[in-house]
Amino acid sequence: MAQSNNVGSSSRSHDREMQVQLQKQKALFVFGDSLFDPGNNNYINTTTQFQANWSPYGESFFNPPTGRFCDGRIIPDFIAEYAELPLVPSYFEIGKDHFVHGVNFASGGAGCLVETFRGFVIDLKTQLKYFKKVTKDLKNKFGRKKSKQLLSNAVYIFSAGNNDYFNFDATYPKHEYANMVIGNLTSVIKGIYKEGGRKFVILSLGPLGCTPGSRALNFQQGNKSGNCIQQLTTLAKIHNSALPKMLKQLEQKLPGFKYSLFDFFKVASERINNPSKYGFKTSKTACCGTGPFRGIYSCGGKRQVKEYKLCKNVKDYLFFDSGHLTEMVYKQVAELLWNGTVDVIQPYNLKSFFHLPA
């Protein structure tokens, strides 16, 4: 009997410790696509086009590969490190207490639109549904007041929209299509706000037409110079120009809503246009893949095309595969997110945002 009392008291003291922790708890909730996916797609019924849990993915840091679309760590991993948090777990890997530091819901291939790669990915609205399950668990475990505190102190970071434009439906005028994408992103942000989220970080889209995959496609369509596909980059610019307006409107409508907008387009473009300035030797060709610019999405030989080549030194490359950057680039991006100045992130960088009272 005495032994079971000890178990009860140790469980109670653990719960008390957790509650004290919650009051000053930092947490990071992550939403979006393959820039942020830590391996959620390993757990869903999909194809290898939307997975990356095999070698050489992960080899710069993880052994075995985790499903990150990178040679090593990705942006949320570095942000967690700078915020002195553990690695933010994939939604499908959260244990009993592991969600108090945040959860990563991102899914490679996901878009803001449900139609984007429907049936193969966890779209943004479904990520919101999973987030609601987590908030319900938090409320059940810690009560409404404590969980509200954790959720309002937490930071919510998004990389979303890329795949909607790679999967652009040309039957729509460009601006109308972008409005639909932005509209869906807005409704998910509002859904998180309704659950208690207050601090939101949004990455703008990068120059989508300048990935090795886009250059390879352009090359195969007869543009042998391998230039960027302007139409894709134009779509990204239309999307990006709508973001500040959307965030300002939310700030005006929703009490306590705070945001930070990161200019990923500028940061990526600077490195694509001038790789040597940032420590890279090439920005046109991927480290891993096949075909022109190694821009065919075959890294690791588990997708439709089996042949692939792997570079000798991944640190020389901006892109790891046809559409994803290397760990070195993600680290530079994360550093700018964390303590960058207003030319790349505003009105707050993440270092100040984490400490901002909700």
Q: pLDDT, tens digit, for every residue of 181-205?
A: 999 999 999 999 999 999 999 999 9
- From 71, 90, 107, 324, the catalytic residue: 324
Q: How do residues 68-121 score in pLDDT, each as one tens digit?
A: 999 999 999 999 999 999 999 999 998 755 688 999 999 999 999 999 999 999
The three-class DSSP label of residue 227 is coil
- From 33, 34, 71, 164, the catalytic residue: 34
Question: Among this protein's residues, is 34 annotated catalytic?
Answer: yes
Question: Among this protein's residues, is 11 annotated catalytic?
Answer: no
Nearest one of 240, 260, 232 to 248, comparing CA atoms: 260
The DSSP bridge pattern shows strands 199-203 and 258-262 to be parallel
Q: How do residues 147-162 score in pLDDT, each as one tens digit?
A: 999 999 999 999 999 9
Question: Among this protein's residues, is 324 annotated catalytic?
Answer: yes
Domains within the chain, CATH numbers bracketed: 27-355 (3.40.50.1110)
Q: Vertex 66, ends 181 and 201: CA angle to 5°?
A: 35
pLDDT averaged per 10 residues, the chain (length 358): 48 55 79 98 98 98 96 98 95 80 97 98 98 95 93 97 96 97 98 98 98 96 91 97 98 98 98 98 98 98 98 98 98 98 97 89
Distant-in-sequence contacts of 273-277, Cβ < 8 A, 24+ apart:
275/318
- From 260, 283, 321, 322, the catalytic residue: 321
The three-class DSSP label of residue 252 is helix
Q: How many Å apart are CA 332 and CA 34, to the nearest integer?
A: 18
